[in-house]
Structure 1
Amino acid sequence: MAKILVVDDAAFMRMQLTDILQKGGHEVIGQAENGKDAIEKYMQLKPDIVTMDITMPVMEGIDAVKGIKQFDPDAKVIMCSAMGQQHMVVSAIQAGARDFVVKPFQPDRVLDAIGKIV
């Protein structure tokens, strides 16, 4: 079981992802709606894994990954992107993300990505 921080600007996506993760036996210890909030919550909660949306207001997901990695070089982040954002996924991996899942979420793919990292 992993302790996970779910980051997405859309409440519906956070709820959907939380549901998938909890049904998969993981614990969602926090949620954030933008990259700035994600960095602050990461420092407070110290999750095992972060699921990070790429496109968000205030601070983009890729910048948030860089910020989290400065605080914790061993941070494990899985990027979540909508179809057609593959070029951004490459930037996210270069910033230190370990994997990515595409929206709409496929529960098996999400849990597989978490399983590879835990």
Structure 2
Amino acid sequence: MSKRILVVDDAAFMRMMIKDILTKNGYEVVAEAADGLQAIEQYKEHKPDLVTMDITMPEMDGIHSLKEIKKVNPNAKVIMCSAMGQQAMVIDAIQAGAKDFIVKPFQADRVIEAISKTLG
């Protein structure tokens, strides 16, 4: 059975890129969200196997959203996505429970490596 993934990014173009990489590699994108609040709603509704989460978003940022998702499911698997040079945020994300971190612009093989490693 293909693994179900929730893609969270405020940029539709980025969501499309990740979705494309995932579907080409046999993953199923069950939902998308454009901000942290939507991410929590979509997580509760779809219960995905994994979430790719942008850090910088309107309404609620990725780290806050990650913490909320962890309250819903302490075993949630979340991989953070962010632009270069946000090391402090990366550390915050890992401390908040993120499983891995992908840097934008995305390299398809790095995305797949992070996801397959996180999903086991």
- TM-score of the pair, normalised by structure 1: 0.99
Equivalent residue letter for 2:68: G
| Offset at residue 80 of structure 1 (A) | 0.1
SS of 1:93's equivalent in the other structure is helix
- 1:41 aligned residue: 42
Rounded Cα–Cα distance in structure 1 between residues aligned with 2:22 and 2:107 = 11
- 1:29 aligned residue: 30
- 2:105 aligned residue: 104
Deviations 1:56-104 (A, max 9, x none): 0000000000000000000000000100111101000001100010000
SS of 1:38's equivalent in the other structure is helix
Equivalent residue letter for 1:37: Q
Structure 2 stretches lacking a partner, 5+ long: none
Deviations 1:29-48 (A, max 9, x none): 00000000000100000000
User: Identity over aligned residues, as a percent?
Assistant: 64
- TM-score of the pair, normalised by structure 2: 0.97
SS of 1:5's equivalent in the other structure is strand
- 2:11 aligned residue: 10
Equivalent residue letter for 1:21: L
Task: Provide runs of 4+ in structure 1 moved above 6 Å.
Answer: none
Rounded Cα–Cα distance in structure 2 between residues aligned with 1:2 and 1:107 = 17
Aligned length: 118
